[in-house]
Amino acid sequence: MRTDLLAILVPVLPLVGAIILASLRRKLSANVAGGLATALIASSFVASVVLFMGFDASTGGRTVHMLDWINVGGMNIPLALRIDALSLTMMLIVTGIGSLIHLYSIGYMHEDERAPTFFAQLNLFSFAMLMLVMGSNFLITFIGWEGVGLCSYLLIGFWYKTPEYNYAARKAFVMNRIGDVGMVLGMVLLFQRFGTLEYVSIMDMATGGMNDPLMIAATLFLFIGATGKSAQLPLFTWLPDAMAGPTPVSALIHAATMVTAGIFLIVRSSVLFELAPFTKDIILWVGTATALIAASVGLFQNDIKKVLAYSTVSQLGYMFVALGMGAYSAAMFHVTTHAFFKALLFLGAGSVIHALGGEQDIRKMGGLKGRVSLTLTPPSIRMDGPVKITYITFFIGTIAISGLPLMSSFFSKDLIMAYGFQHSPVLFGLLLFGALLTTFYMFRLLFLVFYGTYRGKAHPHESPLTMTIPLMVLAVLSVVGGLLNLPHLFGGHEPMKHFLETAADAIRYEHLGLSATTEWILMGITTVLVFATIAMAYGRFAKRATLEGAEADMPFFKRLIAQRWRLDEFYAALFERPYGWISTHLFTTVERHVMVPVMNGVGAAALAMGGVVRKLQTGNTSFHLLAMLCGMIVFLLITLMSN
């Protein structure tokens, strides 16, 4: 039927784009390749919108069967897509934000000689991400899951001449694979338990006792998978390194879409997680710890993209906190608004980097906003900065992520924090602290880049329209995104929650039981403290001409945080170097000095025995064997011929 065909087209169009671009990568110009890639993902977006418009949420959703995939001995796993509220939400984010970032990339990558390859990989990523969110069973999601991992690897290491980038790419892939062990085991266990991997069937069948050990194991395994893909403790250290990739990649893959896959997976299987409160508690505390640790590191980073990367890890932590409290729709809401403002911030950062000819160190930026003057007659704002659009949109992104009143994150993050308060005031306190850290490092970034005086040597210039149009669209979305799930407090009806609950039953049971007064008070406290934090950041960074000294001069604890809690060094000492040592020594010691000599001993014994026999036979063993076998061939031939 037509809707089925349309649903299939959504992932297939970017796949076709990837194949065409990869095969013609040497023949196409950067602009043609970029145009084609953008057109295809935009078509997917249009198809998604049409599907969304024609979707009747009351039906719950439909499954589009494409092909029997793995069908053997009682296992039947089809290649099938699921169209429901959850997948449609994700499809709109992936194709919508994806289209904007493809468009942006045309401007950002136009001078790169491998731009067609870049667009092929970006399209391939879109295909994989769409498979991930549209799959009707775990294994289809896993196709996308591994596909986005591959594209992430390729795009982080896109500039492959630099060994550090290749290392970062490998690190991302391997750490994701560690999570995948959990994901695979989780799927195997669920298959063993339910005899199917179809989401709908499993969620229907999953009933019964709380904290069934099997359910705890399955959900923990899935969560381990999620910590890899969504960069949570202990597997988050790959994400900051992933900033080695071109900035549009950081925006699309490492902020807006791929890293939210873990959250999507848990919402998809929310019924299972509802049956395993033990797992939910673990998710809650892992999320909180990640949110705070990453936010603390963000305070001291001097690379514009690294600040945003730690911010992403921290925001993902908030989403996991929501999941841990069973607030699945709140998590999805924050996934959506985060996709808007974090894509905006990354693209804005890309525009800054572009303007400064590749500079990423915020210590060498400053003053990019120029002078801003207000005139009242006629009422207008005059700016003489070199990157006006970039500045305004980046400013909007910053206030959006900080949760200033009525911005998108004001609604989505506050919802999570309100659930946190309902869970325990301590949790609320921690989340509030994290939110203030976020505000502080984001305004530090804003002030150091755009305020004060310019500390670099490049000649800043504004980016082309292909880059600034996405910035403007995302800025608007970052402001109004809160409307998607406007709470009752502001006269809304939480439309997103009610939409999503048609796809995930667990969302029906979400309930924020705080009184309106409590909510107003919490919101008031948060807002006042956020403004105070901004004022503090302004005082410290807005007028700076120089920055504080090197890490070595910092007091111990501050230095520890600035050095990213030394997690990378810790992992290197605990896993990476020992692994290399074991690999070397298993070969040079065990294999060379144990296995081989033992085998040679066996061989020598055989030869010695052969020597004894030889005295009786006076011949060459292998010759005898050969003769015997030749004889057999002759027999064989005779038999065949005589037939």
Partner 1 sequence: MIVALLLLIPFITALALMFLRPTQQAKNVALISTLASLGVVLFAWSAYTGGTVIHYNMDWVPAWGLRFVMGYDGVGLLMLILTAVVFPFIIAAGYGEKLQHPSLVNALLLFTQTFLFGVFLAQNTLLFYIFYELSLIPVFFFLLYWGGEHRRAITVKFFIYTLLGGLSLLFGIIYCLGQGAGFNGDFATIGALNFPLSTQIWLFWVLFLAFAIKLPIFPFHSWQPDTYAMAPLQGTMVLGAVMLKMGLYGIIKIVLPIVPQGVIHWQETVIVLALIGAIYGGIIAFRQSDLKRLIAFSSLSHVGLLCAGLFAWNSYGVSGSLYQAFAHALLVVCMLYISGAMKERVGSSEMGAMGGLKLRTPRLAALFLLVLVNAVALPLTQSFVGEWLMFAGLWQVNGWLAFAAVSTIVLGAIYMLFAYQRVMLGPDKWALEMTDATTRDHLVLVPLIAVTLFLGVYPGPILDLVDVPVQQLLSSLSLN
6 binds partner 1 (CB under 8 A): no
Q: What minimum distance in Å lies between the beta carbon of 95 and partner 1?
A: 21
Q: Which stretch binds partner 1 (CB under 8 A): 165-173, 335-343, 438-446, 537-545?
A: 165-173
Choice between 151 and 255, CB closer to partner 1: 151
Taking residues 561 to 600 in sequence order and writing x for each that binds partner 1 by CB under 8 A, - otherwise, the string is ------------------xx-xxx-xx---x---xx-xxx
Number of neighbours of residue 384 by Cβ within 10 angstroms: 10
| CA distance linking residue 502 with residue 88, whole number of Å | 12
Binding partner 1 (rule: CB under 8 A), the pick from 5, 59, 65, 160 is: 160
Binding mask 83-122 for partner 1 (x = CB under 8 A): ----------------------------------------
**Nearest-approach distance from CB 533 to partner 1, in angstroms:** 41
* 626/65 Cα distance (integer angstroms): 57
Binding of partner 1 by 69 (CB under 8 A): yes
Tell me the CA end-to-end span of the chain in Å, nearest whole number. 58
CB 594: neighbour CB atoms within 10 A? 11
Contacts of 538 (CB under 8 A, 6+ apart): 443, 447
Query: 358: buried, middle or exposed (CB in 10 Å: 19+, 13-18, 0-12)?
Result: exposed
Q: Which is nearer to partner 1, 143 or 476 (CB)?
A: 143
C-alpha 160/C-alpha 143 separation (Å) is 25
- 184, 529, 554, 562: which one contacts partner 1 (CB under 8 A)? 184
Q: Is 371 in the site for partner 1 (CB under 8 A)?
A: no
Q: Map the footprint of partner 1 across residues 382-401, applying CB under 8 A.
A: none
Select the residue interacting with partner 1 from 465, 525, 528, 629 (CB under 8 A): 629
Q: Which of residues 214-233 bind partner 1 (CB under 8 A)?
A: none
If one asks whether residue 627 binds partner 1 (CB under 8 A), the answer comes out as no
**Bridge partners, 62 (sequence order):** 83
Distances (CA, A) of 164 to 169, 170, 252, 350, 563: 9, 10, 22, 20, 18
Residues 125 and 17: their CA atoms lie apart, in Å, by 11
In three-state secondary structure terms, 95 is: helix
**Residue 28 CB neighbours (<10 A):** 21
Contact 496, 332 (CB under 8 A): yes
The first and second tokens of residue 373, run together, are 């003057």
The piece of 158-166, 250-258, 294-302, 310-318 that touches partner 1 (CB under 8 A) is 158-166
Confirm or reject binding of residue 633 to partner 1 (CB under 8 A): yes
Whether residue 566 contacts residue 237, with contact meaning beta carbons closer than 8 Å, is answered with no
- Which residue in the set 79, 94, 261, 365 belongs to the binding site for partner 1 (CB under 8 A)? 79
User: In angstroms, what is the minimal distance from the CB of 603 to partner 1?
Assistant: 5
Which one among 426, 607, 613, 634 touches partner 1, defined by CB under 8 A?
A: 607
User: Of 152, 224, 154, 161, whose CA–CA distance to 187 is shortest?
Assistant: 224
C-beta of residue 553 within 8 angstroms of C-beta of residue 421? no
Q: How many residues bind partner 1 (CB under 8 A)?
A: 66
Residue with tokens 């014994």: 605
* Cα–Cα distances in angstroms (integers) from residue 279 to residues 224, 273, 326, in the given order: 11, 7, 11
**One of 110, 170, 544, 558 touching partner 1 (CB under 8 A):** 170
Q: Which of residues 524-553 bind partner 1 (CB under 8 A)?
A: none
The answer to the question of residue 211 lying near partner 1 (CB under 8 A) is no
Token couple for 409: 């994150």
**Residue closer to partner 1, measured from CB, 22 or 282:** 22
Contacting positions for partner 1 (CB under 8 A): 22, 67-75, 79, 139, 142-143, 146-147, 150, 153, 157, 160-163, 166, 169-170, 173-174, 177-178, 180-181, 184-185, 188-189, 191-192, 579-580, 582-584, 586-587, 591, 595-596, 598-600, 602-603, 606-607, 622, 625-626, 629, 632-633, 635-636, 639-640, 643
